[in-house]
Chains A and B, each alone.
Chain A
Amino acid sequence: MSSPASPAAAPQGADEIPTLDRVDLRREFNEVGIGEVLDQLDRELIGLRPVKTRIREIASLLLIERIRNRMNLTSEVPTLHMSFTGNPGTGKTTVALRIASILHKLGFVRRGQVISVTRDELVGQYIGHTAPKTKEILKKAMGGVLFIDEAYYLHRPDNERDYGQEAIEILLQVMESQREDLVVILAGYGDRMDKFFASNPGFRSRIAHHIDFPDYSDQELLAIAELMLNDMNYKFSTDARQAFTRYIALRKAQPLFSNARSIRNALDRMRLRQASRLVADLDRVLSADDIMSLEASDVLASRVFSK
């Protein structure tokens, strides 16, 4: 809600003089509370340097824009539509959720909800089905963020009668005309998104922020694993950590490696092995520490090591 500047604050009664000519940036920064969101982003998301830099930039722009608004320095609502490209498991969805809360804190989206959809929810199955379906989703996303995962499936180049095109047209229209009501984030794997944008130039030009998610390094993957374990109240023993470092190196070399997602799956399998190891010896008295820690044997039993 932008409230008109109060006339009482302009004693000279001059027309062009801003009502507010000094701003305490730090106070403004604290008031909005993005500092803590950004810190949380740094803490909870490992790596992703370029992504964090870009989010910081966007957050700064929005903060300044907010102040400019208060000073009556009118400018157009900045375009906030984004595209996230990157390999599987690099954190695109997670970041989209964070972005929504940042935009909400800064007052650039009114409600801050994230509606996450794929092709199925936007495109209909017969003529006349697509438009209501797409509009329904758009209406739900109003005031928040619409996150379209694997956006390139919207466009099927091999079938020119595909209803996806209709959904794309409605999306483009709303993205342009209701920029202040809705932020659209498209996400998908890099190469396919490039093809998608090449065949839909309208999308590319309506999206201001193209953010590329890099793959994680081995150390980052280990840190992610520790963070996930910590959240689940588990921990690695020293041996297990070393074994897991080897596991990461081996797993990365294998096909279908999907970054943090593969790590999560590996951890889930290790929890299984730990549980069956503990249950195998029913006469043992367990301490909390036993239950919490994953041993090297849990890691080394993985198929990855058998090759």
Chain B
Amino acid sequence: MRVTQGCFSFLPDLTDEQISRQVQYALEKGWAVNIEFTDDPHPRNNLWEMWGLPMFDLRDAAGVMMELNECRKVYGDRYVRMSAFDSSHGWESVRLSFIVNRPKDEPGFRLERHEVAGRNIRYTTIPYAADRPEGARYGGA
């Protein structure tokens, strides 16, 4: 099941050219671009791990693409996303976020029903991938 988080996730995967244009847009707006990765695709897992530091003061997307390619070399089997942080007063938050790399095989989520007091039911989603230990979830090392 295809994970749809952030911008553009219902579109076909962006090509590097398209990613680079999006990054350039963010840089021209003065946002700092971050690269983040994870192998836990749960929708409530907001805090992915960062690849290096946020990239402030860049002028051209080529620098970000260089880091993305490095990150893909190491974590090519995980989800990688870019987020663009706007530091200007009043925003101080992420303005744009999109997935740039995903595992070849995305097994999807299991829905668990907990029968609780009365006839109530509580639902929990668990990524099938999360059954395996971190780092080994998508056939990686």
Which A residues form the contact surface with B (CB < 8 A)?
A: 110-111, 113, 132, 135-136, 138-144, 174, 178, 181-182
For A142, the chain B residues whose CB sits under 8 A away are: 58-63, 66
Q: A142-B61, A143-B59 are in contact. List 16 more A-B contacts (CB 8 A).
A: A110-B60, A132-B53, A135-B66, A136-B53, A138-B63, A139-B55, A141-B63, A142-B58, A142-B60, A142-B62, A143-B61, A143-B63, A178-B62, A178-B66, A181-B62, A182-B62
* Any A CB within 8 A of the CB of B67: yes
For A174, the chain B residues whose CB sits under 8 A away are: 66
Task: For A111, give its contact among B52, B57, B59 (CB under 8 Å).
Answer: B59
Which B residues form the contact surface with A (CB < 8 A)?
A: 52-53, 55, 57-64, 66-67
A241, B52: Cα distance in complex, Å: 58
For B63, the chain A residues whose CB sits under 8 A away are: 138-143
A143, B24: Cα distance in complex, Å: 11
Task: For the complex of A and B, list the 9 residue pairs with the smallest distance between their C-beta atoms, beginning with the closest.
Answer: A143-B60, A139-B63, A181-B62, A142-B63, A142-B62, A142-B60, A111-B59, A111-B60, A113-B59
A182, B58: Cα distance in complex, Å: 13
For B60, the chain A residues whose CB sits under 8 A away are: 110-111, 142-144, 181
Number of A-B contacts (CB under 8 A): 42
Chain B, Cβ-Cβ closest to A132:
B52
Chain A, Cβ-Cβ closest to B52:
A132
Q: How far is the CB of A63 from chain B (nearest CB, A)?
A: 23
Chain B, Cβ-Cβ closest to A180:
B62
Q: How far is the CB of A13 from chain B (nearest CB, A)?
A: 27
Could you give 27 example pairs across A and B, Cβ below 8 Å? A111-B59, A111-B60, A132-B52, A132-B53, A135-B66, A135-B67, A138-B63, A138-B66, A139-B63, A139-B66, A139-B67, A140-B57, A140-B58, A140-B59, A142-B58, A142-B59, A142-B60, A142-B62, A142-B63, A143-B59, A143-B60, A143-B61, A143-B62, A144-B60, A174-B66, A178-B62, A181-B60
A66, B131: Cα distance in complex, Å: 56
For A144, the chain B residues whose CB sits under 8 A away are: 59-60
Q: How far is the CB of A121 from chain B (nearest CB, A)?
A: 13
A132, B70: Cα distance in complex, Å: 12
Chain A, Cβ-Cβ closest to B56:
A140
For A182, the chain B residues whose CB sits under 8 A away are: 62
A136, B55: Cα distance in complex, Å: 8
A174, B64: Cα distance in complex, Å: 14
A132, B54: Cα distance in complex, Å: 12
For B59, the chain A residues whose CB sits under 8 A away are: 111, 113, 140, 142-144
For A143, the chain B residues whose CB sits under 8 A away are: 59-63
For B55, the chain A residues whose CB sits under 8 A away are: 139
For A132, the chain B residues whose CB sits under 8 A away are: 52-53
A142, B63: Cα distance in complex, Å: 6
Q: How far is the CB of B135 from chain A (nearest CB, A)?
A: 22
For B53, the chain A residues whose CB sits under 8 A away are: 132, 136
For B52, the chain A residues whose CB sits under 8 A away are: 132
Q: How far is the CB of B34 from chain A (nearest CB, A)?
A: 13
A113, B62: Cα distance in complex, Å: 14
A132, B67: Cα distance in complex, Å: 11
For B62, the chain A residues whose CB sits under 8 A away are: 142-143, 178, 181-182
For A178, the chain B residues whose CB sits under 8 A away are: 62, 66
For B57, the chain A residues whose CB sits under 8 A away are: 140
Q: How far is the CB of A88 from chain B (nearest CB, A)?
A: 29
For B66, the chain A residues whose CB sits under 8 A away are: 135, 138-139, 142, 174, 178
Chain B, Cβ-Cβ closest to A177:
B66
Q: How far is the CB of B92 from chain A (nearest CB, A)?
A: 23
Q: How far is the CB of B26 from chain A (nearest CB, A)?
A: 14
A144, B55: Cα distance in complex, Å: 16
Q: How far is the CB of A195 from chain B (nearest CB, A)?
A: 31
Chain B, Cβ-Cβ closest to A139:
B63
For A181, the chain B residues whose CB sits under 8 A away are: 60, 62
For B58, the chain A residues whose CB sits under 8 A away are: 139-140, 142
For A136, the chain B residues whose CB sits under 8 A away are: 53
A139, B68: Cα distance in complex, Å: 12
For B64, the chain A residues whose CB sits under 8 A away are: 139
